[in-house]
Amino acid sequence: MATGGDLSLESADASPQRTLTLARRGDALAEPAAQLRALDALTAPGLDFDARLAAAGLEPLRPARLEYFQVNVGKLCNMSCRHCHVDAGPDRVREQMDAATVDACLDALDRTSAHTVDITGGAPELNAHFRRLVTACVARGKHVIDRCNLTVLLLPTQRDLPEFLAAHGVEVVCSLPHWRARNTDAQRGDGTFERSIRALRRLNEVGYGVGDPARRLTLMSNPAGAFLSGNQAALEVEWRAGLTREHGVSFDRLICLNNMPISRYLEWLIETGNLVGYMERLANAFNPAAVAGLMCRNTLSVSWDGRVYDCDFNQMLGLEAEDASGRAGGLGHIRDFDPDAFAGRRVVTARHCLGCTAGNGSSCGGATA
């Protein structure tokens, strides 16, 4: 049972909604296979990711040392952003990681070399087991990341969340597409920016974003449109000056991610006639130097139902990790996790992977090149 309180869109506490989930609308694109077909149907040159890797002498893509244990605890979210690759939203109450799967994740974590547990969603804080998972990971000496949409901190049920995160030294990675209101609200819904600023003030109040490594506040920006992320270091300077000057809020670092042509962002690309141009942009910006730092090489990604993936994007496309013999889904459920089979696998790739190798590179940790 989720603990998000009343997330119905009619509630007085309703968070900004930019759209409705594909699932709620019954849209055919809700199916991962339909998304993969839409990408595979494109005929522009340079879109064959494996061929691009091979031409750069980087094929097949093999994992490096496992560093990040990423747990997607579910698709429930108080928001419905236009670009969401998860198709998360208030109606996704069914897809929530249960207690047994959380325990299985912890058991598997103990058998890996991962130093960081990256908890994502949806809004991961709305999962009933979120705080237990955080506490258990911290007790194991792991660095914990909470991928937070900011507005969740303002929900009546989550008022004590900043204090909880601070007490456990959790790094908060917050979605904020832009330091100004227009692009933030265009992507995430009207009123999001104002709420995000209020949430950032709450985090600042409990010691986040002021240089304390145990209270690290990271902002994460996705472009609000069909273009690539900017230079992370240059943007950080501008964002810091702008947010300090206009809103009096501070943060520790900014990371930039490209949008992946998956789920609702894919829908937006198709609806606005931007799909071909965006994929060509990704293909033209293919940067072999970004490959070594790809997150799929140092990350294990677990879905709400305990399946194992190379990354959160493959997870949303239903592309389960292969075992060492190349069998799709061969790694099975996280309760049966085999570290050797995971280390010996080939990373599953498809056309969407061009999003992570474009320009400065893109990963859950920001630029890779």
Partner 1 sequence: MSEPYYKHEHLPQFPQIATGNATLASKFFDYYGAVFAEGALTAREKSLIALAVAHAVQCPYCIDAYSNDALEKGADLEQMTEAIHVACAIRGGASLVHGTQMLEHVRKKGM
Binding stretches for partner 1 (CB under 8 A): 178, 180, 182-183, 223-225, 227-231, 234-235, 237-238, 359
Of 72 and 184, nearer to partner 1 (C-beta) is 184
Single-letter code of the amino acid located at 190:
D
Instruction: Specify the residue, 122 or 223, whose C-beta has the smaller distance to partner 1.
Output: 223
Give the DSSP letter of residue 17. Answer: B
Q: Cα dist. 331→71, 147, 210, 245, 324 in Å?
A: 16, 26, 41, 50, 9
Q: Which residues contact 10 (CB under 8 A, 6 or more apart)?
A: none
Provide the minimum distance between the beta carbon of 123 and partner 1 in the complex, in angstroms, as a whole number: 25
Q: 360, 334 in Cβ contact below 8 A?
A: no
What letter represents residue 256's amino acid? C
Toward partner 1, which CB reaches closer, 193 or 313? 193
Q: Which is nearer to partner 1, 139 or 234 (CB)?
A: 234
Closest distance between partner 1 and the C-beta of residue 71, in Å? Answer: 31
Query: 224 or 255: whose CB is closer to partner 1?
Result: 224
Closest distance to partner 1 from the beta carbon of 44 (Å): 13
Nearest distance from residue 243's CB to partner 1, in Å?
A: 13
Distance CA 208, CA 199 (A): 11
Nearer to partner 1, 50 or 280 (CB): 280
Q: How far is the CB of 247 from partner 1 (least distance, A)?
A: 16
Please give the full DSSP string across 58-118, using - where no structure is assigned.
Answer: --S-------EEEEE-BSB-S-B-TT-SS--BTT--S-B--HHHHHHHHHHHTTS---EEE
Rg (CA), the chain: 19
**Looking at beta carbons only, is 163 or 238 nearer to partner 1?**
238
Residue 222 beta carbon to partner 1: minimum distance, rounded to whole angstroms: 12
Query: Shortest approach of partner 1 to residue 289 CB, angstroms?
Result: 18
The Cα 245–Cα 254 span in angstroms is 17
